[in-house]
Structure 1
Amino acid sequence: MVDRQNRVGSKFGGGGVSSAQQSERERKERLRELALETIDLAKDPYLMRNHLGTYECKLCLTLHTNEANYLSHTQGKKHQAGLARRAAMEARMARSGGDTDVMMMTTSSSNARGTSHMNKVRIGRPGYEVSKSRDPLTNERCLTFELHYPELDDPRNRQPRHRFMSAYEQRVETPPDGKYQYLLVACDPYETVGFKIPNEKINRGEGKFVTNWDVKTKVFTLTLHFLDGGQSNITKK
């Protein structure tokens, strides 16, 4: 219970008036206590402790100094909105049988290949953007992936690597769906991420498959074109 009797500037026996700052502190403390009663941090899939000793929300890509700060964040509008969007996306995928053009997932080398490696300290998932377009001349479908690695300490010697993986090679989604393949992008100490894309031929011609690593902004960009000539539509999400 909050003691309002002995506030500075208030008369003895009077409740006193809370300042905006004090009210906000008390609100966050109440939210933290509520979260402690309802959330098991050991089972929270979005909480990760990084190599700096701070905590990261993998859903919102935010950093937090301690567990209490993270718990307060989980009760905020940003995290709750993220949970709602994630639930809506999973519901749409369930209704459509997972039939989407591009889906991002966090994975690891051991999960993807079905082999085991020593655990490494990870920073977390890189920020990313995926854009869809069509080539104005050939009408080929085009995908551009942009991944951000702001915490990378040695960008000149840690260029992100990518490779394609078949649905039958990976061990993350079962049963495998031959209609899709996976584009994996790895850059230690960040988590390896994978993008689920249509299992169609990719145009490897000049200017049709391009990668770029900007060491100043620490942004990796990959652009690819499908060889279908635009015969099938791209579903907008």
Structure 2
Amino acid sequence: MDYQNRAGSKFGGGGVASKSASNADRRERLRMLALETINPEKDPYFFKNHVGSFECRLCLTVHQNDGSYLAHTQGKKHQTNLARRAAREQKEGRGSRAGEVDPATGLPVGVVGSHQRRAAVKIGRPGYKVMKVRDPVTRQEGLLFQLQFPDAPPDDAPRWQVMNAFTQRVEEPDRAFQYLLVAAEPYETVGFKIPARELDRRGEKQFSFWDVDAREFWVQIMFMTEREERFNAAPGLAAGK
């Protein structure tokens, strides 16, 4: 560290560095050391967002510059999460039952139809926004989901489905709710907990749209009105009796 011409010191002598100057120098040295061994562009968890900040998709943290991100990768939180992910992936790899046949499909375990499941490294959860919507004519209530998948391949549109509370294995089943799931490689599958009301699947009430240019996925669902739900729940009325 250069101590020349520091305030309060003679020419050719070295003054005492302040605490802030020492910290700044230490951060810069750590940054240069990290750059020698780490290339952020090849880091699967490194992401630069639209405002110029840097995100760690593994720990879901935001950093103002690359030096802060590199220092984070050497920290305890990041290293712990890396170890947990590696242990989980190793456990899943050992748990695969090679050679076994699924009695339900007659195919080898891990094969669905003609497509074989691929083990991909997940890079975290996508950004999302949920908005309430209402049909101006029928007054039906609904939800509009906007998800960002900046690293998703353009030719592979995200997939989504709605499952009831007794199908999932993450939370205790609650018949008052159901779950909307959205999956896209290489991101983790995300689920939204929504009311267990009947969905209106007619016409353009329910739709999904994959914006290839912006890498955004849109899903809209609309709930039946209470009157329609009561009508559908009555067997005699539904059969026209």
Alignment TM-score, normalising by the size of structure 1:
0.56
Aligned-residue identity in percent:
35
Contact 2:3 2:14 in 1 (8 A): no
- C-alpha deviation, 1:206, in angstroms: 1.4
Matches within 5 A, 1:51-90: 52-54=43-45, 56-57=56-57, 60=60, 62=62, 68-70=71-73
- 8 Å contact kept, 2:125–2:189: yes
Q: Does 1:128 align with 2:128?
A: yes
Which residue does the alignment assign to 1:227? 224
Distance in 1 (alpha carbons) for counterparts of 2:140 and 2:151? 35
The structure having more radius of gyration, on CA atoms, is 2
Cα displacement (A) at 1:169: 0.7
Say if 1:160 and 1:186, in contact at 8 Å, map to a contact too. yes
Amino acid across the alignment from 1:184: L
**In structure 1, what is the Cα distance between the partners aligned to 2:144 and 2:160?**
14
**Inter-partner Cα distance in structure 2 for 1:25 and 1:14:** 15
Equivalent of residue 171 in structure 1, options 160, 169, 172: 169
Over 3 Å counting, the alpha-carbon distance change for 1:71 and 1:213 in structure 2 is: same
Q: Aligned partners of 2:28, 2:223: CA distance in 1, in Å?
A: 50
- Quick check: 1:15 aligned with 2:29? no
Query: 1:120-170: per-residue Cα shift (whole Å, max 9, x none)?
Result: 301211111100122222221110001111012x31x21001111111111
Q: Aligned pair in 2 of structure 1 residues 28, 205: CA closer, same or farther (>3 Å)?
A: farther
118 and 25 in structure 1: CA distance in 2 versus 1, 3 angstrom threshold: farther
Q: Whole-Å Cα distance in 2 between the matches of residues 197 and 230 of structure 1?
A: 20
CA displacement 1:26-46 (0-9 Å, x = unmatched): 5799xxxxxxxxxxxxxxxxx
Aligned to 2:71, the other structure's residue is in SS state helix
- Alignment length, in residue pairs? 165
Unmatched tracts of structure 2, length 5 or more: 30-40, 47-55, 78-108, 111-116, 229-241
- 1:117-196 matches, cutoff 5 A: 119-152=119-152, 154-155=153-154, 157-173=155-171, 175-196=172-193
Runs of at least 5 residues in structure 1 that lack an aligned partner in the other structure: 30-49, 75-114, 232-237
Report the aligned-residue RMSD. Answer: 3.8
Q: From the superposition, tell whether residues 130 and 23 of structure 1 become closer, same or farther in structure 2 (CA, over 3 Å).
A: same
Letter in 1 for 2:157: Q
